[in-house]
Amino acid sequence: MKTITPIITILLLNALSISLTAQGWEREYDDYYRFENVISLPNGRIAANDAFNFVFLDAQGNPLNDFETSLSAIDVNQGYGIAAGNLIQLNDSSITGMVSKGPHTLIYNVDGNSGELLWDTLLTLPAQTESYYRADKILSLGDTCYYLMGHWVSPQGKRPALFKVSREGELLWYKTFHPSLYSNVNYATAFDMAFTAAGELLMLVGDTNWEAVMLHISLDGDLLQPIYWNAQSSDDWLYPEKLLTLPDGSFLVTGRRVFINGAPLAINRVAADGQVLWSALLEGEPNYSYALKQRGDGTIFVLGNRFGGSGSKIIVNALSPDGAVEWWSDYPYPIFQQGFDLDITPDGGLIIAGEAFQYIPSSGYDGKPYLLRLGAQGQLYNSLVEGYVFDDLDEDCAPLPEAPLGGWLVAFEGVDTFYTITDTLGFYTRWLSAGTYQARAIPPTDYWAPCPPQMLSVPDFDTLSVHFPVQVAVACPNLQVDISAPFLRRCFESQYSLYYCNSGTVPAENAYVEVELDPYLSFLSATHPVSSQQGQKLTFQLGDVDVGQCGQFYIDVYVDCDSTVLGQTHCTTAHIYPDSICTPTPGWSGASIEVAGSCAGDSIQFLIKNVGTESSVNDPQLEYLVIEDQVILLQGTFSLDVNESKYITLPANGATYRLEAQQEPGHPGNSMPTVTVEGCGLQNNNISLGYTTQYWEDDGDPFVSIDCQENIGAYDPNDKKAYPKGYGNEHFIEPNTDIEYHIRFQNTGTDTAFTVVIQDP
């Protein structure tokens, strides 16, 4: 007798120095460009901007309001780029932002509660035919006026500049600073600017000779003194990027150690007189720093990005006030991701704005604006659930782990659904947001019966232990096989990978797999012994395959050169045995339909045969159709006795012909009999190509795998294809058709790629 026991939950409470209840999240947006800047408001709202828009969002990243800030209609013939400046919050809780295009700067002010535009003004800085002033960053002195950091730009170079602007947007004055301050008098860049503790200005400047200087400036625009770094060693010397002033008069600067191999990113704390107090290397090997902030508890945060051959990822370093890295974390979004700004939320967490890229084969990389919300310790989700999936041998549904089950999918279904997979020991882990979930293990076949799913309450900042016992419903092996080649290059060797598993409930005894190679492929070798070969059919003995056991081996082939043409399709089939289906199939007569096709010189012959133990249905009869390239050529019906066949003969004209026949109703498994004949009847250069892979193959059963792909010449080591690819310009695919994705990737960088992420957008 079976007894049902609820899932046991163990709560491990974590003590945190900052009490946080907010959950992490990630958001992409379709209606904007990449987010350049972000601020978190005391009321929990979020403001972000791009080069063309201001966006006002709630605490969960849902847009509440937005408006355009575009300068695209201005000076279209002068080639100025549009750049979004930073966002600041004023004492009256409103938000001020800016966007620049050459000498034109749009300053706007927004209500901090509703996101409504209060006012905007267009500021035009001095400009001549080939030179102009440009603003890059805005600061507010209380609510009285603005200071803008920028540059004078000319064909000869650029120099830092400072602008004072009234609250109404009127330019009061502007200044540049003597070129003798920099070792390269014509090319100096103002990277950042901030108010000092004394209420004056500090501008961080670097030049093309890798030298840095701090310009200490009064509120009237007078240079009080230049501050040059007193570096004790090359480790202390940074080419600057970001600046943060501190209450004691010192300041923090991030930048690259340009005199060290690899120019690693570091952070310095520098006294008011230029003395370097400490220097710390940032972890995670970020290439650039984009934001530098300090939390109320003294923790310093540096936002960086790391670029590599496999893409980009966001990296956050958290340091103590004395420069010790307390923690660091990376956030590798699929393929490519950048963070451009960071702010601290009211609860001590982090909000990061940037851009996420995905690769679209038809158009390349598609970038979308992106927000990433993190907890105080950099966690995307606050709570951890872990446990085991196991075979409940004593059938009591008790949470005591018994025989582990690896490779099982575990789902937590709530407002959002989260998945994870067990390892070879049946163990899984999954970070979650706080909330209520239905937790369940998803069996790979109907031969397993999980114990009933339970509602799981996940508190914030806890670790839960949840085990999933499952029981045997049907004692039967369930062998699965998959065969695929990265590519089939004409006139070269290629390699098939064959992977198999037993996801059933009992061992598969005396298992073997048959591989039938395409007629235009020559077998070379295999990493598993071939027990027999009959023409193109290879047999591999596997022995007994235990429950949950998987294996893999490789088959090397040569793609024929003289008898093939570029783009010709080659189909290879793998069939693993035993292929028994142990579940009952009510309503099945016992008939089983198979099809075949061949090229007979000037004609194509299709065969439909009943290989079952009973006659096929007669009322109504089964249906078939023949497709020529993309057009249905003929349709008909059939009813066959045991071992009876029906032949369909067509003239060969070089087109691609496909036969689809209806399977007997109630037939076990997922068989959908199909066969395709390509390139029959004309010379090779006149045949139609590319149609075979537009349609599905008859490999819906787990014990059959058919790989059909066109041969290639030169190739891209990184691409994605889908099978079937669909017919017509719209790539139509029949409903309820499985789509298999063929993803090839190669690390062309200089470092190891440890993770490959595949995401359905």
Residue with tokens 């250069």: 685
Cβ contacts of 749 within 8 Å, gap of 6 or more = 308, 309, 310
Task: Kindly state the tokens that stand for 530.
Answer: 């071939």
Q: What is the pLDDT of residue 9?
A: 24
Q: Is 271 exposed, middle or buried (0-12, 13-18, 19+ CB in 10 A)?
A: middle
Rounded to 5 degrees, φ, ψ at 188 are -125, 140
Q: What is the pLDDT of residue 715?
A: 61
Judge contact between 282 and 328, C-beta under 8 A. Answer: yes
Asked whether this chain's domains 382-472 and 593-744 adopt the same fold, the reply is yes
Q: Which CATH superfamily is domain 382-472 in?
A: Carboxypeptidase-like, regulatory domain (2.60.40.1120)
Q: d(Cα 468, Cα 420) in Å, to the nearest integer? A: 13
Q: What is the pLDDT of residue 756?
A: 59
Task: Kindly state the tokens that stand for 618.
Answer: 């007669």
Around 558, how many Cα atoms within 13 Å sit in the side-chain half-sphere? 9
Task: Kindly state the tokens that stand for 424.
Answer: 């070879």
Return the domain boundaries, the chain: 382-472, 593-744
Claim: this prediction has a pTM higher than 0.85 = no
Considering just the CA atoms, what is the radius of gyration of the chain in Å?
33
User: Which regions of the chain are under pLDDT 70?
Assistant: 1-23, 72-80, 179, 182-186, 208-210, 308-311, 332-335, 358-366, 682-685, 715-723, 725, 730, 742-761
Please provide the DSSP assignment of 346-411 as one string. TTS-EEEEEEEEEEETTTEEEEEEEEEEE-TTS-SSSEEEEEEEEE-TT-S--SS--EE-TT-EEE
Q: d(Cα 64, Cα 60) in Å, to the nearest integer? A: 11
Q: d(Cα 68, Cα 55) in Å, to the nearest integer? A: 9
Q: What is the pLDDT of residue 425?
A: 92
Exposed e or buried b for every residue in 19-50, given b needs 16+ CB within 10 A?
ebebbbbbbebeebbbbbbbbbbeeebbbbbb
Q: Which CATH superfamily is domain 593-744 in?
A: Immunoglobulins (2.60.40.10)
DSSP state of 594: E
Q: What is the pLDDT of residue 184?
A: 60
Q: d(Cα 529, Cα 350) in Å, to the nearest integer? A: 56
